[in-house]
Amino acid sequence: MFKNYTALLLVFLSLTGCATYKHVPDGYTGPVAQLGDSGIQLSGGKGELYYVASINGNQIENARTATGRASYGRGFSLTMDRVWRPVKIEPMKLKIVGTHVTAAPIHEIASRAIGEFFSVEGEVEFTPVAGKEYLVVGELTKAQASVWVQDQETKQSVTKKIVAR
């Protein structure tokens, strides 16, 4: 009988570990904006992702986790997936990331070895405007890796740029 409770506890803990923070809880009726992740498919097995990793220190569903799920079990084939999320109209701190991503770990190791795998991350302050759409964007080159949030309509930066040299 103890084995059954242990197994049940392990299943419960594994399921609760999968829950992700929602900045806009179910049932919320106040104003929101949309905040999306972006990416570029560079080849069948490699891409660039620009995403929000956390809001106010809370990890959230993002393009990195969605791309990992979409690519799971596909060998060297990368399937990019992007995420849009509603956010409340209030000041917040975002951890944003720009990184190369590969379908297979060996591809990432090889890309790093030849100096063609770049990433950057940092925290920015962000206050959205109701009804607007924002997108995490960036640049990953040998000269500079950077990531920021821009207004989707005007293409203007609405946060500071996080830059790694």
Q: Specify if 116 maps to a domain.
A: yes
Angle at 19 between CA 127 and CA 16, to 5 degrees: 145
CB atoms near residue 30 (< 10 Å): 9
Q: Specify if 8 maps to a domain.
A: no
Q: Specify if 6 maps to a domain.
A: no
Q: Specify if 16 maps to a domain.
A: no
* Side chain identity, residue 68: G
Reported pTM: 0.84
pLDDT tens for the 165 residues of the chain, in order: 444 443 333 333 333 444 577 889 889 999 999 999 999 999 988 999 999 999 999 999 999 998 888 888 777 888 888 899 999 999 999 999 999 999 888 888 999 899 999 999 999 999 999 999 999 999 999 999 999 999 999 999 999 999 997
Query: How many domains does the chain fold into?
Result: 1
Q: Specify if 151 maps to a domain.
A: yes
Q: For residue 19, what pLDDT is reported?
A: 52
Q: For residue 8, what pLDDT is reported?
A: 36
Angular region, 73: left φ>0, alpha ψ -120 to 50, beta rest: left
Q: In which element (H, E) is residue 58 found?
A: strand 58-59
Q: In which element (H, E) is residue 4 found?
A: helix 2-16
Q: For residue 145, what pLDDT is reported?
A: 96
What is the chain's percent helix, strand, coil content, to nearest 5?
20, 40, 40
Q: For residue 10, what pLDDT is reported?
A: 37
Which residues are CB-contacts of 27 (< 8 A; sequence separation ≥ 6)? Answer: none
Q: Specify if 4 maps to a domain.
A: no
Q: Specify if 63 maps to a domain.
A: yes
* Domain coverage including residue 136: 23-164
Which residues are CB-contacts of 8 (< 8 A; sequence separation ≥ 6)? Answer: none
Q: Specify if 49 maps to a domain.
A: yes
